[in-house]
Amino acid sequence: MCTVKYERAQELLYGRYGESIRGYLEANVRRDLEALHGAALLTQLNKRWADHEIMVKWMRAFFQYLDRFYVEMHSTTPLSPQGFKIFKEVVFQPLCENTTAAIVAEIGKQRNGEEMLDVGLLKGTV
């Protein structure tokens, strides 16, 4: 499919790659994270990000030929950066305020002596 003969198919496949990631993130990840607050939000955001990194890695492996030829020929964004960009647009940006508030709240709890700060959780989120 990645030869010149199938150029339209390459274009459709590249578009479908982004659409499928975007659809999954909107329907499952963002919706679930919007219901969370505080440490639960940070924990799930870190987990979902780690899962997303794995998914993008495997999707890139599956579509390596597309990434190597179509992306180069058309000077488009490679598959991995495209997958990460979609996560930022669909999940992180809409949740940025809640995430920032959760980080500040966790730091405040530690400063007030209420809880020990989970440095790994905050580091992973940042």
- Three-state secondary structure along 81-96? HHHHHHHHHHHHHHHH
Six token digits for residue 43: 């924990």
**CA geometry: angle 125, 15, 97, nearest 5 deg:** 25
* Sign of torsion over alpha carbons 10, 12, 15, 16: negative
Which amino acid does the sequence have at 10?
Q
Q: What is the pTM of this model?
A: 0.82
Which CATH number among 1.20.1310.10, 3.40.50.2000, 1.10.260.40, 3.40.50.10800 corresponds to the domain 4-125? 1.20.1310.10
Q: Are 11 and 2 in contact (CB under 8 A)?
A: no
Six token digits for residue 53: 């990194």
Q: List the chain pLDDT tens, one digit each, 126 residues.
A: 555 566 677 788 888 889 999 999 999 999 999 999 988 999 999 999 999 999 999 988 888 887 777 777 878 888 899 999 999 999 999 999 999 999 998 888 888 887 777 778 888 888
